[in-house]
Copies of this chain bind each other. A is one copy, B any other.
């Protein structure tokens, strides 16, 4: 169980710094994502909000709130799966431009990584050979996490 209270107060501070509002609705959506290791779709988020609250969360609100949270880099969107995951740097000062993700094909959990410069250089070299001048991408790589490998060994 993640200590979402500490994480959310860090986010609260950042919002104050940036002069933006972390409303109860936004906080609720972010909390759902912070407590989840796997990525969730917008409708899955709405369902979880409605599970532990009497005030129904419409899916449309989820989309709006996700837009806001993405702009602030509090959550990221996995383009391949079209799902959302909280940033793993909510409680630190780490800055990232484009995040990269590893997605476990077995347990679906997602790890946010920073690719080494050598890996990026190797990608850029392959792109150049194929007639592409520049690449800038959020890489999403599927695989198997250690936990699942050991569990199935």
A residues touching B (Cβ–Cβ < 8 Å)? 79-80, 100, 102, 104, 111, 113, 115-116, 118-119, 121-123, 125-127, 129-137, 139-147, 149
Consensus secondary structure, chain A interface? mixed
Give the residues in chain B near A116, CB-CB below 8 Å.
Answer: 122, 125-126
CA distance A60 to B104 in the complex (A): 31
Contact B141 A139 (CB under 8 A): yes
Which of B132, B137, B143 touches A145 (beta carbons < 8 Å)?
Answer: B132
Contact A113 B133 (CB under 8 A): no
Q: How far is the CB of A130 from chain B (nearest CB, A)?
A: 5
CA distance A104 to B137 in the complex (A): 11
